[in-house]
């Protein structure tokens, strides 16, 4: 049983992404791109090319808010350990849902506030 997430036009539904730090540490930006283009983007229905993308002033797919609501870490590749801190800082800090659901408060404060 899973919580469903629907595309913005309600044409498709999939299980919501697992609530785990593994979604941050196992990266696959192309999968985020694909799922966002299918309508599962947290940035909203008009995000592609306006908020999300590869051009100047756009946020890359895989970084909030250009992340998929249905991304599963098992579709990614474990990042190098040396990149863990930067991934958490850039993809969790400032994202209220991720900050409150993925890590314990002390851990997220240490990373996000540089303590």
pTM of the model: 0.82
Whether 43 contacts 51, CB under 8 Å: yes
Which of helix, strand or coil describes residue 87? helix
pLDDT at position 100 is: 57
pLDDT digits (tens, 9 = 90+) for 60-111: 999 888 999 999 999 999 999 999 989 988 888 877 655 556 566 777 778 8
Average pLDDT over residues 9-37: 91
Q: How far, in Å, CA of 69 to CA of 9, rounded?
A: 14
At residue 14, φ and ψ (nearest 5 deg) are -145, 165
pLDDT tens-digit profile of 42-57?
Answer: 888 777 788 898 888 8
Average pLDDT over residues 36-41: 91
Cis peptide before 65 (omega within 30 of 0): yes
């Amino acid at each position: 049983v899973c919580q469903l997430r629907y595309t913005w036009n309600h044409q498709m539904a999939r299980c919501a992404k697992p609530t785990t730090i593994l979604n941050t540490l196992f990266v696959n930006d192309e999968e985020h791109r694909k799922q966002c283009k299918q309508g599962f983007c947290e940035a909203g229905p008009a995000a592609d090319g306006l908020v999300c993308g590869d051009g100047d002033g756009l946020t890359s797919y895989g970084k909030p808010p250009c992340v998929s609501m249905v991304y599963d870490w098992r579709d990614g590749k474990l990042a190098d350990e040396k990149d863990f801190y930067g991934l958490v800082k850039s993809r969790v800090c400032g994202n209220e849902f991720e900050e409150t659901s993925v890590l314990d408060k002390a851990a997220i404060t240490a990373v996000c506030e540089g303590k």
